Structure 1
Amino acid sequence: MTTITMKSFFDYNFSMDDRVLSDICGNILPQIHLYITKLIIEQNSIERILTINYPQLYSLSLINFEEKILFQYLKDHSILRDLINQITYLNIDIQNAIIPQLSEITSNIFALILSLTKRLIHLNFCHLFSHRRTWISIYYLPEISHMFSNLTQLKINVETFFDCLYLLDGLVRVNSNYIDGIQLNDDILIHMPRLKKFAFSINTGAIIENTKIRLQSNEDIRNSFIRRRYGQVGSYVFFKQMEEIGHCHIYSLPYQFEHFFGLSNSFHFQDVIYDKVRRLTMNDIALPFEHQFFKLISYYFPFLKELTIFNGEGQKDKQDSLTLIIFPHLIFLDLNSHVDYAEQFLLAKKTHLPCLLDLCITYESLTILTNNFITDPMHFNCSQIKKLHINEPFVRPKTFHKYFPLL
């Protein structure tokens, strides 16, 4: 079997050259289609690839589709519908907007796939790439749990815990302010006695409108998992006093997911290496993220590709003697925060970013950091950047290209 794969620095599958695709579909596929077992198809090539049957096919990946177009194909394309019924492995990847929104169409695509398939044992639904932020709501859909009795592995992002329970055909019980070990056990595990493995990462937010409500502490959360069949579990809790908002994150260890969301200064490092995580979102409105904290991040999250920071607090510790931090795999960096984090990551003497290609930042932070683009460009981690996102109009100064020569 021959595989042709072309990827960008974000792991996207590029569309194949049209002449190459025409040659493959016209001359090669008709000769080998009886023997093909795996197919990866993107939106622009599906019409030419799915003109013949693939009787030995067991694995299909539909990559980089617009949701409306994919939904239409699943409803009307007879060969695709037959293949969905035939295969045992299916991967779905749907394009999403810059600001992701909950989509009814995407939810309906999920339900339609379940109704079409009879042999599927592995389904990855919009969970192929860490930079895709697609989630669905299935709580309002007709009962679907009976549709995937053969599934042994399902990867999916759902909007709420209710969706998770509905997916598992559980009973909803809400009498705690955070989702904890007790609720997971009573609403999921006791209903699934044959479940062999349960990996989870659950974020809960709580808005305190009644001052008499006491939010659970991190110790309370940890105690709720004692003597239950979860294996090792991590958790952290923090409370935003001014906004009266609480946040809790519970997750199974070792951590199995590519995205780690909402990490704050309340996070406790437990000698656990999060080597599966590729996308990290950090958020704290009470305390700044200091240099040494980022040093720990680089150690405990060694394979980060994308980092987003939300923090309006300036750093307190700015010693010049601080050790250099290295993020060897970081490609995407979002610094729409206090200017100190632009200094932390873009000054070469503080942080080394050998792979940085995509940067989100305010123009004000750039002008402050570079002293209106006068400081020596060699001091900054900008020379390899290919994409720059600034959410405001600006006029490039004459020296701009010295800092960003690839733009």
Structure 2
Amino acid sequence: MNRTDIHLLDLPVEILLKILKRLNNMDVLYSLIGVEGLDLLAQDDIFTNTLNFVLTDNGDYYSINEPILNRFCNDILPRIQYNVRSLYLETTTMDHILRAGVYPNLTKLKIFKFHENFLLHFGTDELLFRYNFKKQITNLTLVSDYGGKVGTLDQTTNVFIKLLDFFENLNYLSCIGSSVTGNPVLSFVDLPLNTFVSSNLTKLCVTVDSFGDCLRLLDGRLNQLSTFIVIIINAKDYSSMEFNSNVLHHLKCFSLTYESLTNEYDNQVAPLLHRMCNLQDLTLYIQIDKRNRLVDGIQLENDILIHFANHPVTLSNDDIQRTFSNVKFGQVGCSMNYVNESDITYHVFSLPFKFDRIRFIGNSFTNTIFKDVTFLCVFDWIPFEHEFFVRLARCFPLLKTLIIVNCKAQSTDSAKSKHDNNGPFEVVQYLHLTSLEFGRAHIDYVEQMLNESKTRLPCLTQLWIDYHQLKTVTNNFTRDATRLNCINIEELDFHSGSDHDDSDDHLIIAQSKDFHVYFPLLKL
């Protein structure tokens, strides 16, 4: 085939579609609508069904400045409005885009970067969502992907009550974003049964203040709910309050994340699980405090009624995993750390691990690859030797935040010099770690993490540390071995690990040329 005069329009439609499918939908629309011969092709449902104007959670990005936005709103959206079924928007451009067309077939809205002003504005101005969306929208997702304020508890709750009232046929509502700290927190404990009511809603994803709010949402007001994903922020005792305890026949999928330590597992969580008679998918992330019996596979298998004997007995990870031998549990991971004979820090989880954070794991954590975990707190009363940090880097390859809690000194031969001829030495690399916190940590771990001959932290920008430990390990901010791991730090927070009076420290730092050279990017 030697022809050199073949043009794009000479290709069969099937080939053109395959080529265009590899491009961003927005690029196809912006570049080809109005081009003779390609205009109708660009208006195909393949490119106009879902329009994405934001940086989304799957990484797709379309940068939209004012001239581009104007062309979309004036020329493109009116021509394709009948094909649009999904819109992914940011609050800054949302109103302009929604008013550019009628969108009679729009059913799904995903709104990013909403904040307090947006929530409060919607509470008083329904024009943000035009009247024709009232019955159309069945799927609504609100994502706050930054850690800013999103309104007071009452204000935010009232807005979401209004949302559910406004969208009459909503069957999917999600208010869970990319960061727990940025999620809007709701509370329904003190609200009457006739608020936040829907006979259409089948899937709900929310963050609530307490377990009482979770019980309120399951008291019958959402009687068709089949999937409930809830994050609970605070541990509070509502055992004295009365809640509807009817069987939850429709609930098929339940995910519960408890952000705080709770000692109400037996009084609150277990009775709620008993009500879910038709449950098919259960995900629990619960930090249980002050419980003298382990929650194991046997207990879950027998309706959470059977547990280990209440006498001191040494159990291993394998002992616990064997209790999950029933195939319905799938693959299970386990970690047990003995603080003393009666106190155990204990984790059990299904694999693959579904969450982005783990708290208080110790030396005995399972050698599993936790590919989604970005936040980790390690705690033990047994020293963390160098090999522990090697395993940590291998098992948590995308770790961004690490908190170290351990007051025990490392052994003298924990981290041999890389020039030691007695055996190989592996330098630990945390390639994605941006935040490091030493909470009640022995100075050995400051040396372990900041000394580049032991650990490399190329992306570290935030450090929370005892000032005197940092000063000692860096040799008063002159030591070259720790300089490289500190050079990119932008935020530095000091805490005191002793009774030392830190009132003069800031003055010393302000006058220290070595300190400022050591942290050249520090935001003061």
Q: TM-score range by the shorter chain?
A: 0.7 to 0.9
The 5 Å alignment of 1:90-129 reads 90-94=140-144, 103-129=153-179
Cα deviation for residue 225 of structure 1 reads: 1.8
Does the C-alpha gap of structure 1 residues 390 and 185 become closer, same or farther in structure 2, counting only changes over 3 Å?
A: closer
CA distance in 1, matches of 2:156, 2:293: 36
The residue that corresponds to 1:211 in the other structure is none
Residues 85 and 106, structure 2, Cα contact 8 Å, conserved in 1: yes
The counterpart of 1:333, out of the listed 436, 440, 455, is: 436
For the pair 1:226 / 2:301, whether they are aligned, the reply is yes
Supply the distance in 2 between the matched residues of 1:227 and 1:166 (Cα, whole angstroms).
27
1:60 maps to 109
Matched, 1:263 2:360: yes
Offset at residue 256 of structure 1 (A): 1.7
For 1:398, which of 498, 507, 513 is the aligned residue?
A: 513
Equivalent residue, structure 2, for 1:35? 83
1:333 Cα deviation (Å)? Answer: 2.9
Q: Tell me the residue number matched to 2:386.
A: 291
- CA distance 1:377–1:349, shift in 2 (3 Å): closer
CA distance in 1, matches of 2:185, 2:142: 12
Paired residue for 2:215, among 165, 173, 177? 165
Measured against aligned partners, the alpha-carbon deviations of 1:282-322 in whole angstroms (never above 9, x if no partner) come to 456x5554433333332333322333x15262532343346
Note the C-alpha offset of 1:60: 2.0
On the 8 A contact 1:91/1:128 being kept in 2, the answer is no
- Which of residues 351, 359, 374 in structure 1 aligns to 2:455? 351
Q: Residues 144 and 178 of structure 2 are in contact (CA less than 8 Å); yes or no, is this contact kept in structure 1? A: no
Q: What 5-or-longer segments of structure 2 have no aligned partner?
A: 1-24, 27-51, 220-243, 247-261, 304-325, 418-424, 496-505
TM-score calculated relative to the size of structure 1? 0.73
Q: Larger relative CO (CA 8 A, sep 6+): 1 or 2? A: 1
* Paired position in structure 2 for 1:212: none
CA distance in 2, matches of 1:128, 1:269: 26
Aligned to 1:279: 375
The equivalences for 1:62-211 within 5 A come to 62-80=111-129, 82=131, 83=133, 85-94=135-144, 103-129=153-179, 132=182, 135-143=185-193, 147=198, 149-152=200-203, 154-169=204-219, 171=245, 177-179=263-265, 184=269, 186-188=271-273, 190-206=274-290
Question: What TM-score do you get using the length of structure 2 for normalisation?
Answer: 0.59
Q: Classify the secondary structure of the residue corresponding to 2:510.
A: coil
| CA offsets 1:240-290 (integer angstroms, 9 cap, x no match) | 89xx99977665443222232x3243x753454332322223456x55544
Shift of 1:378: 7.0
State the distance in 1 between where 2:186 and 2:334 align: 25
Structure with greater Cα Rg? 2
Partners of 1:59 and 1:157 lie apart in 2 by 21
RMSD (Å) for aligned C-alpha atoms: 4.3
Within 5 A, what are the aligned runs for 1:373-388? 373-376=477-480, 379-385=483-489, 387-388=490-491
Q: CA deviation digits over 1:347-390, x for unaligned, max 9? A: 222223344344444544433332222112675323444x3142
- Equivalent residue letter for 1:300: C
Q: SS of the counterpart of 2:471?
A: helix
Which secondary structure does the structure 2 equivalent of 1:156 belong to?
Answer: strand
- Selected match of 2:96 from 39, 48, 58: 48
Q: Deviations over 1:66-104 (max 9, x none)?
A: 235313315422342654753333222337767999833
With over 3 angstroms needed to count, the CA separation of the structure-2 counterparts of 1:133 and 1:92, relative to structure 1, is closer
Residues 401 and 12 of structure 1: is their aligned pair in 2 closer, same or farther, counting only changes over 3 Å?
farther
Residues 4-48 of structure 1: per-residue CA shift (max 9 Å, x gap): 54589xx99999655654554455444444433333333333343
Q: 1:355 to 1:24 in 2, by over 3 A?
A: farther
Letter in 1 for 2:460: L
Letter in 2 for 1:263: F
Distance 1:90 1:148 in 2: 16
Deviation of 1:395 after TM superposition, in Å, equals: 1.9
- Helix, strand or coil for the counterpart of 1:380? helix
Cα distance change, pair 319–193 in 1 and its aligned pair in 2 (3 A): same
What one-letter code is carried by the residue in structure 2 that aligns with 1:231? F
CA separation in 2, counterparts of 1:146 and 1:43? 26
Gaps spanning 5+ residues in structure 1: where? 207-214
Identity of aligned residues (%): 28
